């Protein structure tokens, strides 16, 4: 790879992805990939921290691989691979565990939230999740980590662990910076616009999945909750309309002000259809390309194989340095 800075990010193959994931992650990945040496992972080991149906996890892993590609990740230019294919991730997580304190993990917001949500399965992996994430990032000497706002605490831990290790054993890891995309970082629910759009919402009309076809997308936007007056303006008193305006703005690359002008005097019903059409026109080609790729498992396997080989070379360079620094005797080969 040429001398550009290294970018690492990952998404869990845990099922449906929403337009929130697209705007918050995938779209930024595509934009950033030519400016950085980019490494994109499918965080399948992370997904195991909540109960999975094995067959679903396998299916979701292919789905996410296809979605990355359909969203414009170039598997030759960037590295695209499954986390479990590169065992250095689990190995570095072990070493980092030895310099991480339980208090740092038990006070993580996401751990507390997930513990409440999965009371029947509060396992060590759920608590250790941020350490594995730190290993993901630090293995590649990453400088930039695009993340959603909900991952800020985890990135902070990765930085702390890098600094702690460097101080204890001498300079080894780059200390990564987070990147939280500005445009429309938070997409809200279409049913309850005070809440974040979530794929696990029981109300299927509350979110737009990357698998929704245009008719479904437009139907869901038609049902989106608004308010009883009729002005299309961005305002804290109008969370429903504001959410629709910011989705429209994100999908059309127009500013909120321009969108407000465009829809001045237009009725809510017409506005909602326009938002639905704008979203569908971006999502539909991605959905079709994803489905086309999913019919070619051999190609997806090839992409993952190639990605794992390239990722592994980089990862082991860091891991062997780490093993040496902590005093493990290097294995003799041959
Ligand atoms: N925890 C991240 C999420 O759920 C996914 C992830 C795993 C990740 N490893 C990572 C993101 C490393 C950035 C860097 O969104």
Is the separation of the CB atoms in 82 and 300 below 8 Å? no
Q: Ligand 1 within 6 A of 10 CB?
A: yes
Task: Look at residue 254 in the predicted model and tell me its pLDDT.
Answer: 95
Task: Look at residue 185 in the predicted model and tell me its pLDDT.
Answer: 55
Most ligand 1 atoms within 8 A of CB, residue of 28, 134, 147 to mutate: 147
Task: Look at residue 3 in the predicted model and tell me its pLDDT.
Answer: 84
- Pair of tokens at residue 293: 């790729």
Ligand 1 centre from 133 Cα, in Å?
A: 6
Beta-strand relationship, 144-146 and 79-82: unpaired
Is the separation of the CB atoms in 149 and 184 below 8 Å? no
Task: Look at residue 1 in the predicted model and tell me its pLDDT.
Answer: 53
Most ligand 1 atoms within 8 A of CB, residue of 46, 109, 156, 180 to mutate: 46
List the chain residues with pLDDT less than 50. Answer: none
Residue nearest to atom 14 of ligand 1 (CA): 9
**How far is residue 215's CA from residue 280's CA, in Å, rounded to a whole number?**
8
**Backbone dihedral angles phi then psi of residue 273, each to the nearest 5 degrees:** -65, -40
- Structure pTM? 0.94
Task: Look at residue 180 in the predicted model and tell me its pLDDT.
Answer: 87
Residues 6+ apart with CB under 8 A from 29: 9, 38, 40, 68, 71, 73, 146
The atom number, within ligand 1, closest to the CA of 148 reads 15
Is the separation of the CB atoms in 146 and 6 below 8 Å? no
- Pair of tokens at residue 43: 């965080």
Question: How remote is the C-alpha of 85 from its chain's centroid?
Answer: 19
Inter-axis angle of helices 268-294 and 297-326, nearest 10: 80
**How far is residue 206's CA from residue 195's CA, in Å, rounded to a whole number?**
10
The catalytic residues are: 114, 196, 199
Task: Look at residue 200 in the predicted model and tell me its pLDDT.
Answer: 84
Biggest CA pair distance of the chain: 77
pLDDT tens, 146-192?
998 889 999 999 999 999 999 999 999 999 999 987 655 579 999 99
Q: Ligand 1 within 6 A of 136 CB?
A: yes
């Amino acid at each position: 790879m040429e001398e550009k800075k290294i970018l690492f990010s990952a998404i869990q193959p845990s099922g449906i992805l929403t337009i929130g994931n697209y705007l918050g992650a995938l779209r930024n990945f595509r934009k950033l990939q030519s400016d950085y040496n980019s490494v994109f992972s499918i965080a399948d080991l992370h997904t195991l921290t909540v109960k999975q149906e094995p067959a679903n996890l396998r299916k979701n892993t292919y789905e996410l691989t296809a979605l990355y590609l359909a969203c414009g990740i170039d598997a030759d230019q960037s590295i695209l691979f499954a986390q479990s294919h590169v065992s250095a991730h689990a190995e570095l997580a072990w070493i980092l565990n030895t310099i991480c304190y339980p208090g740092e993990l038990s006070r993580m917001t996401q751990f507390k939230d997930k513990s409440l949500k999965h009371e029947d399965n509060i396992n060590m992996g759920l608590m250790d999740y941020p350490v594995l994430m730190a290993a993901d990032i630090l293995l590649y000497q990453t400088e930039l980590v695009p993340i959603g706002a909900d991952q800020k605490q985890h990135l902070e831990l990765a930085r702390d662990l890098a600094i702690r290790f460097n101080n204890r054993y001498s300079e080894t890891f780059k200390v990564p910076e987070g990147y939280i995309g500005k445009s429309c970082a938070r997409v809200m629910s279409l049913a309850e616009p005070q809440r974040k759009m979530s794929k696990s919402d029981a109300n299927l009309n509350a979110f737009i999945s990357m698998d929704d076809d245009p008719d479904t997308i437009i139907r869901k936007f038609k049902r989106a909750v608004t308010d009883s007056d009729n002005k299309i303006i961005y305002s804290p008193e109008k969370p429903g309309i504001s959410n629709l305006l910011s989705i429209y703005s994100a999908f059309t690359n127009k500013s909120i002000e321009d969108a407000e002008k465009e829809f001045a005097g237009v009725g809510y019903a017409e506005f909602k259809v326009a938002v639905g059409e704008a979203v569908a026109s971006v999502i539909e080609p991605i959905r079709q390309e994803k489905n086309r790729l999913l019919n070619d498992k051999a190609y997806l396997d090839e992409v993952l194989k190639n990605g794992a080989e390239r990722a592994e070379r980089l990862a082991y360079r860091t891991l062997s340095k780490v093993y040496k620094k902590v005093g493990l005797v290097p294995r003799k080969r041959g």
